[in-house]
């Protein structure tokens, strides 16, 4: 090979190595680079024998650079490849459709407006996932506003406020501002008084049924033409708590003959006698309806784009009457469909989950069977895996299905490289749902003739992380389904081949080829004496069993992979047993 060819090989290899390493965010591999390079440059082929010797040091150099250095070097050698890379990145990142009319606003500001009547079910995480992603894409921001203005039928749960904010953090986002509507009643009263002054609202004492009948017939009730001064007085009496629930409401004057009856003179304020659970708001009795409260707040807090459910299309239409009175511009609105979730028996509904927790059928909001954010978090699923699955659903107005398998696939990519490998032999199963008849049994088998210790790797892709040290002792435990027939062999993973004589394992002298060539099964196991009792909590029930001794040293929150079983998050250790939550296969 002459110097010119050598230089060209070196250069081609370096560009390819830089491109691959940046694209996959990992070390470049000789094999992945040689093939395409030889394909594109047939004149290199006659030097096939010498080429690896030239390429290897180039790749080693590339793998020694940090990301910035790689980008810089690729920009020098082949600026067009760097552009190609950035274009691909952009495509990958933009999973959501463009926001409507975004260019009309200096800064995009969106809002997540949860009702804190419970912690979030998984479907709720769609809003922060999507608006948090939009905020990043548009360099804008989002706010959280707790729409907690119904202390009776959607009674807030005091600890849910902070829990929801924690869950947004878990998903990887931070709101620019946090508001509680129950702190803002005076703001709503002030706007109601302005509206009354404009003749845009009236106090109405019609029994609900009677008003409905009039309204459905397109007829005004006698209160509609009341003098604004009287309305103002009666509204003050509502605020002062002079009426009982149902005696008086404040209605927005819209169009009593509007073709959509739901928009005709809707209720803006009503009396709720049940005190709000927040001390700061406990004295109020006159509460705004959601359409009034959120309509006023969206304007006052500078929201530019609203996303809400397709079933709430009337909200924007009702609120436009308010906006017209006040002379405000209505924000851009997107309506999206519902998310349906597979894999759970429990319905994805806050009230259902709340009842099951209250009755003790669920152990809590983070029970593995509960379709909640608290539960997936406890199982060791990262917020990022949920966010990616949610943004992939887009913002379509049709109902969409979220497959938990796609959350699991995302999460596996995030945790696999870190997760230390561990052995767990299951020995029992306590079903908690209906129709789950899984069972496990461990058998203890004496073992002879092998080394005292097994040293399987901490992680098969990372030999540098070292080996685990598992003392074998006089016997091992295996799951009964892994026990070979009398006279047959198995390979105890990380230890070696044994033959089962019907009572004992006898260690054999054979190499790993028997697994591939002779079909010997590889099974997991733990020492008969030195092991750790484990309860593995799954969506179907609790599996109990024994882990290798080192499991006791895995700190809480670590996600491990139980070999041949799946990933699990270490939850707690106690002298009686260690608890882990099953993440996914
Ligand atoms: Zn009336």
CA within 13 Å, CB half, 153 = 5
Nearest to 55 by CA among 21, 22, 19, 15: 15
Distance 270 CA to ligand 1 centre (A): 13
Ligand 1 center to 292 CA (angstroms): 19
DSSP 139-177: T-EEEEEE----TTTT---TTHHHHHHHHHHHTT---SE
Residue (of 524, 531, 537, 529) closest to 579 by Cα position? 537
Q: Which residues pair with 569 in a beta bridge?
A: 559, 581
Cα of 152 vs centre of ligand 1, distance in Å, is: 24
Q: State which H helix or E strand residue 195 sits in.
A: helix 185-197
Three-state DSSP class for residue 491: strand
Rounded to the nearest angstrom, the distance between the alpha carbon of 40 and the centre of ligand 1 is 82
| Ligand 1 centre distance from Cα of residue 209 (Å) | 11
pLDDT at position 407 is 97
CA–CA distances in Å: residue 361 to residues 176, 275, 521: 38, 29, 40
CB 369 within 8 A of CB 352: no
Residues lining ligand 1 (ion), CB within 5 A?
Answer: 204, 206, 221, 223
Measured in angstroms, how far is the CA atom of residue 215 from the centroid of ligand 1? Answer: 10
Percentage, residues of the chain above pLDDT 90? 83
- Write a three-state SS string for 43-83: HHHHHCCCHHHHHHHHHHHHHCCCHHHHHHHHHHHCHHHHH
Residues 6 or more apart in contact with residue 255 via CB below 8 angstroms:
263, 264, 321
Q: How much distance in Å is there from the Cα of 211 to the middle of ligand 1?
A: 6
**pLDDT tens-digit series, residues 256-281:** 999 999 999 999 999 999 999 999 99
Distance 256 CA to ligand 1 centre (A): 12
> How far is the C-alpha of 365 from the C-alpha of 378, rounded, in Å?
10
What gap in Å lies between CA 229 and CA 231, rounded to an integer? 5
Query: How many A from CA of 320 to the centre of ligand 1?
Result: 22
Task: Give the tokens for residue 99.
Answer: 């926001």
Do 109 and 142 contact (CB within 8 A), yes or no?
yes
Whether 66 has a pLDDT exceeding 70, the answer reads: yes
Residue 373 has pLDDT above 60, yes or no: yes
Q: Please determine, for residue 138, whether its predicted confidence score (pLDDT) is greater than 60.
A: yes
CA of 203 to the centre of ligand 1 (A): 7
- Beta-carbon contacts of 481 under 8 Å, excluding residues fewer than 6 positions away, are none
Distance CA 362, CA 369 (A): 7
Rounded to the nearest whole angstrom, what is the distance from the C-alpha of residue 328 to the centroid of ligand 1? 28
Contact partners, residue 506, CB within 8 Å, separation at least 6? 447, 448, 449, 498, 499
Q: pLDDT (tens digit, 9 = 90+) per residue, 474-532?
A: 999 999 999 999 999 999 999 999 999 999 999 999 888 899 899 999 999 999 999 99
Say whether pLDDT at 409 is over 60. Answer: yes
Q: What is the pTM of this model?
A: 0.82
DSSP state for residue 123 in the 8-state scheme: G
pLDDT band for position 26 (50/70/90)?
confident
Distance 206 CA to ligand 1 centre (A): 4
Position 51 pLDDT exceeds 80: yes
| Distance between Cα 224 and ligand 1 center (Å) | 7
What is the β-pairing status of strands 496-500 and 505-507?
Answer: antiparallel
Rounded distance from Cα 252 to ligand 1 centre (Å): 12
Ranked by mean pLDDT, the top range of 15-24, 217-226, 428-437 is 217-226
Characterize the bridge pairing of strands 470-471 and 421-422: unpaired
What separation in Å is there between the alpha carbon of 371 and the centre of ligand 1? Answer: 44
Q: What is the Å distance from ligand 1's center to 202 Cα?
A: 8
């Amino acid at each position: 090979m002459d110097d010119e060819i050598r230089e060209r090989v070196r250069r081609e290899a370096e560009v390819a190595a830089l491109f691959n390493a940046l694209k996959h965010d990992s070390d470049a591999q000789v094999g992945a680079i040689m093939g395409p390079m030889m394909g594109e440059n047939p004149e290199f082929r006659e030097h096939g024998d010498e080429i690896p010797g030239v390429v290897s040091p180039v790749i080693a150099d590339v793998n020694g650079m940090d990301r910035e250095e790689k980008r810089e070097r690729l920009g020098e050698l082949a600026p067009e490849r760097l552009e190609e890379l950035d274009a691909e990145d952009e495509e990958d990142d933009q999973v959501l459709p463009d926001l409507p009319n975004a260019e009309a606003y200096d800064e995009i500001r969106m809002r997540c407006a949860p009702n804190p009547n419970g912690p979030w079910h998984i479907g709720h995480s769609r809003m922060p996932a999507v608006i948090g992603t939009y905020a990043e894409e548009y360099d804008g921001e989002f706010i959280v506003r707790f729409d907690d203005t119904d202390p009776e039928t959607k009674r807030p749960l005091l600890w849910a406020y902070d829990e929801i904010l924690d869950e947004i953090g878990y998903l990887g986002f931070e709101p620019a501002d946090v508001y509680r509507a129950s702190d803002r009643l005076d703001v709503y009263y002030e706007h109601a008084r302005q509206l009354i002054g404009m003749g845009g609202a009236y106090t109405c004492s019609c029994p609900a049924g009677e008003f409905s009948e009039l309204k459905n017939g397109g007829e005004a009730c006698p209160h509609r033409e009341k003098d604004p001064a009287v309305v103002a007085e009666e509204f003050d009496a509502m605020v002062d708590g002079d009426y009982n629930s149902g005696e008086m409401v404040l209605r927005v004057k819209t169009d009593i003959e509007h073709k959509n009856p739901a928009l005709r003179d809707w209720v803006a304020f009503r009396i709720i006698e049940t005190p709000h659970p927040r001390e700061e708001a406990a004295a109020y009795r006159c509460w705004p309806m959601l359409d009034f409260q959120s309509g006023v707040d969206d304007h006052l807090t500078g929201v530019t784009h609203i996303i809400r459910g397709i079933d709430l299309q009337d909200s924007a239409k009702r609120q436009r009457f308010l906006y017209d009175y006040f002379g405000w511009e209505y924000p851009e609105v997107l309506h999206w469909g519902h998310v349906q979730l597979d894999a759970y028996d429990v319905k994805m509904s806050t009230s259902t989950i709340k009842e099951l927790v209250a009755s003790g059928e669920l152990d809590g909001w983070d029970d593995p069977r509960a379709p909640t954010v608290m539960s997936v978090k406890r199982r060791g699923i990262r917020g990022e895996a949920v966010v990616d699955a949610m943004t992939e659903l887009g913002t379509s107005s049709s109902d969409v299905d979220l497959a938990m398998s796609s959350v699991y696939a995302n999460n596996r990519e995030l945790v696999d490289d870190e997760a230390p490998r561990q052995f767990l032999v299951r020995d029992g199963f306590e079903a908690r749902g209906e129709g789950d008849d899984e069972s496990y049994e461990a058998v203890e088998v004496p073992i002879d003739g092998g080394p005292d210790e097994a040293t399987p790797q901490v992680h098969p892709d990372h030999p540098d992380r070292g080996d685990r040290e598992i003392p074998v002792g006089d016997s091992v435990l295996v799951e009964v389904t892994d026990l070979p027939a009398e006279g047959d062999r198995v390979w105890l993973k990380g230890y070696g081949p044994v033959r089962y004589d019907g009572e004992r394992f006898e260690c054999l002298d054979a190499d790993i080829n028997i697994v591939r060539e002779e079909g010997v099964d590889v099974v997991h196991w733990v020492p008969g004496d030195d092991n750790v009792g484990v309860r593995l909590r799954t969506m179907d029930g609790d599996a109990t069993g024994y882990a290798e001794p080192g499991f006791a040293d895995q700190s809480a929150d670590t996600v491990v992979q139980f070999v041949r079983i799946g990933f699990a998050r270490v939850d707690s250790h106690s002298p009686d047993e260690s608890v882990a939550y099953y993440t996914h296969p």
